Amino acid sequence: MDQSLLPNIYDFISKTYPFSQLSPLEMDAVATAVKISYHQPGDILDDADLAGAGLYLVRTGACEELTKPDGKLRARMGVGDTFGYTQIDKQGRSDYKVRFLENSLIYFINRNVLKLIFEKNKAVGSYFSSNDRVRLHSSQAAATARREASGAGRTVFEAATRHIPLMQEDDTIQEVAAALRDTHSEMAVIARGDQPEGVITKTDISNRAVACGLPATAKASEIMSRGVISIEGSEPVERALELMVMNNIECLPVTDHGRFTGVITPTRMLRDSRLESVYLLRDVTNVDSIKALPLLSHRVKGIFTGMLAAGMPPHDVQRMMSRIADVFYEKIISLNIKQAGTPPCRFAWFAAGSLARCEVQFLSDQDNGIILEKDPGKEGMEYFARLSDAVCHDLDSCGYPLCDGNYMASNPKWRVTLEQWERNYSSWIADTTQNAILNSMVFLDIRHLHGDAELTSALKRHLSEEVNANSRFLATLCTISTTVAPPLGTFRQFVLTKDGKNEPYFNIKKQAVNLIVELARLYGLAARSQETDTYARLKAARAAGVLRDEDYRDLAEAYTFINSVRFTHQLNSIKSGAKLTNNLPPSELSQFERNHLRDAFRIISRQQQAANVKFASGRGIL
C-alpha cells in the first residue's frame, strides 16, 4: 500500500463506527493492514472473496448483497457500510454474493487482523459478530451506560432506605413509638419473624392509640394497618411507582425473597426521571372534574421526552405511557358514569391495539370497545351511546386521538353484548378470507380497562377457543402478517421497497414495528396464550414450544432496537419542534442505526419465512 494514503485511511476509519471505538494502537494496526481495491458496476465478489476472507469497508461507491442461489436482495450498502465479516468463519462457499452498482473504492481488512482486534476489543468484536442478534444486543451497551449515568434503570433495592424500624406484632405501642423517635422515621414495619404483616405510622399512634385511650402497653398488632403491600428489591423502580399510584400509598416495604430489607418512598427516587409520572398519575387519580384533565395531559409529553432522554428501555417507556393512558381512561369513564348515573347493566370497557399491548407511545390513537352483559333495551343502549361518545371525546381532548378507522366504543358496531361479540369473533374466524380477518385484526389484541373484568376474560377465552378450533385461520393470518416485507434496501436517501420502487422514506411502524407485533400475535394465538404484550406473547410461544429459544431472542432483540430507533427520532423531532411521524428518511439515519436496522430487518425477513413454513399447511403447529 502507498504509505501516503495512510493518513486518509486512518482519518476515515477513525470516524466510522465501530472503528471509532478502537484505541489509538488498535486503530494504527487496522489502518496499516488495509488493502485497497477498485470495482466497476457489475463486478461480483463471491465464494473465494468472502468465505474466510475478512471485512470490506465501502469508502466510495455502492454495492448490494444478494442471497444465494435465488439472488434476492439481502442489503444495499454505501459509504461507511461494511460487509463480509459474517463470512469469516466460512469455508469454500459464502452465504451471499456482493454486486457493485457504481464505481467503488473498497478498504479490505483480512481475517487474521480482524480476529486480533476482536480479541483485544470485545465491543468491536460483538459489533461484527456473525450473529444478527449478538450485533443488535451489543448496540444497546451505550443506552445502558446512559441509563445508569442518569439513575434510570435502577432496582428498588438500589433506591430503598434501610433506616426503618422493623418491629414485631407482640411489641408494645410504646416500644414502637420509641423506635420511631430514635430512628427519626415516620413509619415502622410490623413483622411476624422477618415477614412484613403491617405498618404503623406516627399518625396511627395518635389516632388509633392515644385518641382511643389505648394503654402504652397494648400490642402493636392492635393498631397496625394490615394487608401491607410490599415489593421485591429486584423489581425495577417503575414497578414501585406503579404500585404507589395504583394503591394511593406513599411508602412500600421492600423485601428480599419475602424478608424485609427496607422501604422505598417517592423522596428516595427524586433523582429518577420517571418520578414526574408518579405525581401525574396521583393528580389524575385525585381529579373530580373532567375539565381539569386536559390541563394535566399536557404533562405527558414532558414525561415521554424525559424518559427517552434518560435512555429508558423502549419497553419500559411504552409500559409507563400505557399506565398513564390507563389512568386517564379509568378517570374519564368513572367521571362520565358519575354524571350519567348508574349503568343499566354490567359492562366492560376494553382497550384494543397498542394500549391493549401496553405499547403506547406519543403517536398512539384510540382503539376500544364495550362488552355488555345483556341487551339493556332501547333506553339502555342510548345510555351507553351517550357514555361512549362522551368518553371518546374526552380522551381525544386529553391527547388520545380518535381512531381514523372508527374502532371505538362510540361506534355502535363495537358496543354490543358479550353474545354478539362472540358471534362476531366466530364469524371472523370461520370466514378465513383475508378481508374478513383484516377487518377484525384490531380486536385480536384486547385488554380490560373498566367495569366487569369477567366479561373481557370470557371474550378472550372465546377468541382463543375459536382460533384453535380453526387452524386455517392461523394460516391466513400468517399470510397477512408476512405480506409486508422489511425494507432491506434502505440506502442513501432512498428505500428500495419489495415492489422495486424507490421511496424517500420508510415507515418504521408499518414496515418494521408492526411486522414483529404481528408475528408475536400469530405465535401467541398458536400457543393459546391470553397475553397481549408483544414480548410476553413471544415468551409464551417459547414456553409452549411453538417458538424456538433462538428465534424468541432474535425477535426480542430486533423489536427492542427498532423501537429505540423510532423513539430516538421522535425525541429529535420534539426537540426541534418538527411534526412527529413514523416516516424515517434514510438520510437522517446515522451509520450506526442504518447498519443495525439491516440486522433487524434480516431477522424479520428470516422469521417471516419461517412462519410461512410453519403455518402454511393450515394444520396448526401444536
Across 34-46, average pLDDT: 96
Domain CATH for 258: 3.10.580.10
Domain end among 469, 504, 537: 469
**Window from 467-471, 492-496, 561-565 with minimum mean pLDDT:** 492-496
**Window from 60-69, 158-167, 421-430, 491-500 with minimum mean pLDDT:** 491-500
Number of domains in the chain: 4
User: Same structural domain for residues 79 and 170?
Assistant: no
Q: What pTM, to 2 d.p., does this model score?
A: 0.76
Find the helix packing angle between 514-526 and 453-468, rounded to 10°: 80
Higher pLDDT, 483 or 136: 483
Distance from C-alpha of 202 to C-alpha of 219, rounded to nearest angstrom:
15
User: Same structural domain for residues 374 and 260?
Assistant: no
Decide: 527 and 501 in contact? Cβ < 8 Å: no
DSSP, collapsed to helix, strand or coil, labels residue 128 as coil
User: Same structural domain for residues 291 and 252?
Assistant: no
User: Same structural domain for residues 328 and 455?
Assistant: yes
pLDDT score recorded for residue 305: 87
Across 74-84, average pLDDT: 89
User: Same structural domain for residues 234 and 246?
Assistant: yes
What are the pLDDT digits (tens) for 545-588?
Answer: 999 999 999 999 999 999 999 999 998 888 888 888 899 888 88
User: Same structural domain for residues 495 and 568?
Assistant: yes
368, pLDDT greater than 50: yes
Domain end among 434, 469, 504: 469
What are the pLDDT digits (tens) for 308-329?
Answer: 877 788 998 999 899 999 999 9
Distance from C-alpha of 235 to C-alpha of 156, rounded to nearest angstrom:
6
User: Same structural domain for residues 326 and 380?
Assistant: yes
**Window from 93-107, 260-274, 428-442 with minimum mean pLDDT:** 260-274
Distance from C-alpha of 135 to C-alpha of 112, rounded to nearest angstrom:
20
Q: Is residue 480 part of a domain?
A: yes
User: Same structural domain for residues 460 and 492?
Assistant: no
121, pLDDT greater than 60: yes
188, pLDDT greater than 60: yes
What are the pLDDT digits (tens) for 407-433?
Answer: 999 999 999 999 999 999 999 888 877
Domain CATH for 112: 2.60.120.10
- Give percent of the chain with pLDDT exceeding 90: 51
Domain CATH for 405: 3.30.460.10
Distance from C-alpha of 622 to C-alpha of 617, rounded to nearest angstrom:
13
Domain end among 264, 290, 310: 264
Domain, as residue range, for 464: 275-469
Omega before residue 266 within 30° of 0, cis: no
Indicate the average pLDDT of the chain.
87
Q: Confidence band (pLDDT; 50, 70, 90) for 296?
A: very high
Q: Is residue 116 part of a domain?
A: yes
Higher pLDDT, 194 or 371: 371
Using only C-alpha atoms, the chain has a radius of gyration, in whole angstroms, of: 29
